Structure 1
Amino acid sequence: MNLTNGHLFWPTTTAPLTVPKIKPKAHYDVIIIGAGMSGALCAYELTKQGYDVLSIDKRHIAEGSTSANTGLLQYSNDIMLVDLAEQIGEEDAVLFYRLCEQAMQDLTTLATSLSRNTDYIERPSIYYASTAEDVPRLQKNYTLLKKHGFEVAYLDRQALANEMPFEKEAALKTYGDAEVNPVKFVQTLFSDAKHDIVEECEVTATYSEETQVRVETSKGTFHAKHVIHTTGYETPVVGKRMGAAIHRSYVVVTEPINEQLWQDDALIWETAHPYLYIRTTVDNRLIIGGLDEDIAVPPTDKAIQQHAEKLLKEARELFPSYDLKAAYAYGATFGESYDNLPFIGEHPTKKRQYYLLGYGGNGTVYSMMGAKMITSFIKGKEPVGAHIVRLSRTNGVR
């Protein structure tokens, strides 16, 4: 399955990771299927805990969806806390937001410990009301976040204008978020996690046996006590996603801008669905994304060009003083669950087979959360909040 098309930005910022050729062992503690963000975080967490791990990918490290990941890391979700509370109850909604907040803190701690600079920078986020009609819902969300102790500020039109070079009716400012170069981050996680890696190896089947899982691949058969499926938006090797859809989105990356940008280089997004999102880069470019479509394949070159112009137009309306010129433009597939929650946990019937599918706009945050959860499962412990994201829910994996 092709996941991206167009002129990708992140692969131009770093050389590919060189993976040593190895002869894999017949048996491991854990085999991870997928070498993107979720697989990288699982590999790092498990090797740190002393597990013998093998990572397998049919591509090369960070060549799938990671290459198109825009690198906005936020604890807030595609679904507002107030809306999630209506969906699953206030207690569980707050718990889920807390888990996302903790995952952000874990990512920040992790980034400081890596052997390489991955352009990980803490940022605040600005979440603005797309229209005046969205303001009451934004206010309700602010009230609920504040009630439960999340660090958030409400900005009216004047307060927002004092901080940002555009005017909207209102916005929320949250803290503890970050930006990252996702390709550098994934490469460094794999480099620092000392374990076996096999690239260009397609997994064709997995079978849960009495005390182990058998993994059939294009390069032979392997066995492990546990298997983790971190295949992202690809069709799962085994199992079936329930209550999820694969869409596509567009991104344009500008030429460097020769002037100071907005306060704190805050991450920017909006209440509309699909939403526009904007961030800066270390070399003063803007990454602008959005215009999601309910189509499961990457767009054509022509569609990418047309949507890049639309994204630039929207960004120019926000920032009329900036000279915005496209340097890179691409489209990519992404997955969303119908209930706006990731899929994390053990398969309901395939024992010792775990899934970490971070569907939604918070994929990297979900991946960090899931890596911790699955490590707990493997240790025989039930992680806090596992019931919210379990695979056996209505929207899950069968």
Structure 2
Amino acid sequence: MEFYHGTPYWPTMESQPSSTLQSRLPASHYDVLIVGTGMSGSLCALTLARSGLHPVMLDERALGTGSSSANTGLLQYSNDVMLCDLIQQIGEKPAVRFYRLCLEAINELEQTAQSLNGSCDFFRRKSFYYASALTHVAKLKKEYATLLTHGFPVRFLNPAQIESAYGFSKHGAMLTTGDAEVNPLKFCRTIHETLLEHHEADILGQTSLLDIHEDEDGVSVQTTAGSFRTSAIIFATGYAPPPFLNENRALINRTYAIATAPVANLDRYWPEQALIWETRRPYLYLRTTVDQRIIAGGLDEKKNELPDQQTIDTHAVRLKKEIEKLFPNLPITVDYAWGALFGESNDNLPYIGRHPKRKHLYYLLGYGGNGTVYSMLGSIILRDLLLKGNSPDADLFRLDR
């Protein structure tokens, strides 16, 4: 299954071919097999390895070249569903806990990035969330009050404050702290390099899973690289249909993104290079890169097939115009443009946990706009399930909800 079409920005920054970052042959036994070497699989492998387990990662394609290559790398504790709406949906305590887990996960991501052998361009950022229309201000203020009541770091900005700080006009905005940005492909690669250098995990790239056989003590696994035993399997397969589940729990849609040419003196126009997004749905979002490019994404469509190049080019022009509306004085040229598939769940929460009927199979499915954040919090939940047999947060993300 292909997850993107066009030319995403991150692979152009790669200095080492992904095929060189893998083990040669599998061992006879592992504590856990992780299927998928993208963001979810990588974070899970690192978390488990540093908890004393010996994992092996497996991917049928070159390492990290699925949806992680098209990921735009915004890390936010706020979600596509506002906290005030999520409280109405699932109740106050679990909704606030979910938001709290997302904020804690960003802190964990920062610690993880700092612990790796190389840089993955992780930077803490504020998020500027603006009202797209005057009629959206009341809802945005409600969300601000909800976040503030529950202790989340947030400010509300009026039009005059926005104009003074950002140089453009909006009806109102929230400014949150605690968010971040990352180069997602570099993050995955650096995790792979660190795991292999310290012999903490094995990695089998361009290797297919052929068959599994469960018994009381674990799972016998057959792959194109050889056979081995494992005590558990975690499927971190991104937006592909998850194996051994009766139904796909993701609604597959498509989105678009561009990366501009480097912009001189970007700091003068963009205070603190905060992440920017809006209340309109589908929403526009923007961030910057270490080489002073602007990445913009959005224009989501409820279509589950990849766009052709002409469609990508058309949407790239639209995204460029959206940047120019905010920053009319910036010279914008589009260097990269791509379209990608992404998955969402019906209730806006990821699926994390053990298979409802098969005790050795687990899943880390970070559906939604905060996939990397969900991957981090999910890795911690799965670690606790494997090592302790339970997690206080597992029920919120169970597969049979």
TM-score bucket of the superposed structures, by smaller chain = over 0.9
Contact 2:252 2:302 in 1 (8 A): yes
In structure 1, the partner of 2:255 is 249
In structure 2, the partner of 1:14 is 14
In structure 2, the partner of 1:228 is 234
In structure 1, the partner of 2:183 is 181
In structure 1, the partner of 2:81 is 79
Aligned equivalents of 2:13, 2:214: Cα separation in 1 = 40
Q: Which moved more, 1:382-391 or 1:215-224?
A: 215-224
In structure 2, the partner of 1:148 is 150
Residue 379 of structure 1 aligns to a residue whose secondary structure is: helix
How big is each residue's C-alpha offset from its partner over 1:173-202, in whole Å with a ceiling of 9 and x where there is no partner? 111111111111011111112311111112
Contact 1:205 1:238 in 2 (8 A): no
Deviation at 1:238, TM superposition (A): 1.8
Contact 1:275 1:291 in 2 (8 A): yes
**Runs ≥4 in structure 1, deviation > 4 angstroms?**
none
Contact 1:203 1:237 in 2 (8 A): no
Query: Among 380, 393, 396, which residue is 1:385 paired with?
Result: 393
Query: Among 90, 95, 100, which residue is 1:98 paired with?
Result: 100
Query: Among 289, 292, 303, which residue is 2:300 paired with?
Result: 292
Contact 1:204 1:237 in 2 (8 A): no
Closer, same or farther in 2 for the Cα pair 1:141/1:205, shift >3 Å?
farther
Closer, same or farther in 2 for the Cα pair 1:249/1:240, shift >3 Å?
farther
Aligned equivalents of 1:220, 1:349: Cα separation in 2 = 27
Closer, same or farther in 2 for the Cα pair 1:387/1:21, shift >3 Å?
closer
Aligned equivalents of 1:317, 1:189: Cα separation in 2 = 38
Deviation at 1:288, TM superposition (A): 0.5
In structure 2, the partner of 1:367 is 375
Matched, 1:347 2:349: no
How big is each residue's C-alpha offset from its partner over 1:176-234, in whole Å with a ceiling of 9 and x where there is no partner? 11111111101111111231111111224434321102333333433210110000011
- The total of aligned residue pairs comes to 393
Contact 1:208 1:353 in 2 (8 A): no
Identity value in percent: 46
In structure 2, the partner of 1:65 is 67
Contact 2:283 2:298 in 1 (8 A): yes
**5+ long unaligned stretches in structure 1:** 394-398
In structure 2, the partner of 1:396 is none
Query: Among 6, 23, 26, which residue is 1:24 paired with?
Result: 26
TM-score by length of 2: 0.95
Measured on the aligned residues, the alpha-carbon RMSD in Å equals 1.3
Contact 2:208 2:223 in 1 (8 A): yes
In structure 2, the partner of 1:280 is 288
Aligned equivalents of 2:235, 2:23: Cα separation in 1 = 23
Residue 75 of structure 1 aligns to a residue whose secondary structure is: coil
Query: Among 273, 276, 293, which residue is 1:265 paired with?
Result: 273
Contact 1:43 1:190 in 2 (8 A): no
Query: Among 327, 332, 337, which residue is 1:324 paired with?
Result: 332
Deviation at 1:239, TM superposition (A): 1.1
TM-score by length of 1: 0.96
